[in-house]
């Protein structure tokens, strides 16, 4: 199964990962609220950012935003 997955083109692999993670996030919304279901939802929702290619810019922006917020707190 892994060999068949790796035989897919790069774009098809990323698309299948994104679709699977989106499906997992939507299924976890159907469960009752709890720590596990919310964790699964947020992890799979954040995981969707990786295959669509915006995880690295998002993380860079988030780290920059944290640096700015810390500087603002230090100079108050």
pTM: 0.71
Residue 53 has pLDDT above 90, yes or no: no
Upper half-sphere CA count for residue 53 (Cβ side, 13 Å): 5
pLDDT value at residue 62: 93
7-43 confidence digits (pLDDT tens)? 999 999 999 999 999 999 999 989 888 888 899 999 9
Classify burial at 22, counting beta carbons within 10 Å of its beta carbon; exposed 0-12, middle 13-18, buried 19 or more.
middle
At residue 66 the predicted structure's pLDDT band, cuts being 50, 70 and 90, is very high
At residue 52 the predicted structure's pLDDT band, cuts being 50, 70 and 90, is confident
**The total number of structural domains that make up the chain:** 1
For residue 59, what are the domain limits?
2-74
């Amino acid at each position: 199964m892994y060999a068949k997955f790796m035989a897919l083109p790069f774009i098809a692999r990323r698309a299948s990962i994104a679709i699977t993670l989106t499906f997992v996030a939507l299924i976890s919304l159907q469960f009752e609220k709890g720590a596990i279901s919310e964790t699964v939802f947020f992890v799979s929702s954040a995981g969707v950012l990786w295959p669509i290619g915006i995880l690295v810019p998002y993380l860079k922006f988030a780290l920059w935003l944290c640096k700015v917020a810390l500087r603002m707190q230090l100079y108050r």
